[in-house]
Structure 1
Amino acid sequence: MWETFTRKVRLVFEDEVLRRRIVFVLFALVIFRLLAAVPVPGVNAASLEAFLNNNQFFGLLNVFSGGGFSNLSIVMLGVGPYITASIVMHLDSSCSSSRTASSRLSPFSIS
């Protein structure tokens, strides 16, 4: 089994186009993680954490976003609203029968 795995990995890295694509994706992930560690300037992290702990609605959104609100970073400003909106719409479509019917008709539905 190990020999089969190593043979397939070797085949993947022998293909120049596939190797460049894999390196690009890994590079993009590294850049994303580095930018996710850069906080937004002017935001007091302690007061933001206290606000999220005291407010049930925003605390729930923080849980749905994977803790993205409590770790407010430059990346969260761009990607966070899209992720949060897609999670909320998915939960809404599974709870509401009218949204479920319209999501089946939409060509852009996630599920």
Structure 2
Amino acid sequence: MKQTLESDIFDIKKLEKEQSDKILNILKDSNSYLTTYNQLMNIYEDIHGKRVSYIFVCQDDIQHTFIFQHLPLFARHYNIKLYKFPKGIQKVIEKICNKKFVNIISIFKDDPITVKIEKIFLL
């Protein structure tokens, strides 16, 4: 019998407010991250392209969560850590990125801010 795998939106780990604030401070000092779902999917089409270590989403700040529904399975497949920001963070992220409608942040594995973010989760 064929096994069916289903993505579960609840597989996204929730960030605490303190963790979220620290991550936002790190993002202020960098601009080498992806800010759209399409950018993330495009880099994974290239098998030799850069890889991502973290994906942060503003799931609670948007009405249509369907774009996030396959991310848990995608993250699990590519060994990416997937977290969601607390509600209300999207506007702050839009200011940091100087863009509108930012609801996803993807951090590259080889980026120096990855080490800083990893330290947040070790504390």
Does TM, scored on the shorter chain, surpass 0.5? no
Normalising by the residue count of structure 2, what TM-score does the alignment of the two structures yield? 0.27
Larger RCO (CA within 8 A; separation ≥ 6): 2
Higher Rg of the two aligned structures? 1
Higher helix share: 1
TM-score (structure 1 length as normaliser): 0.29
User: Which has the larger share of strand?
Assistant: 2
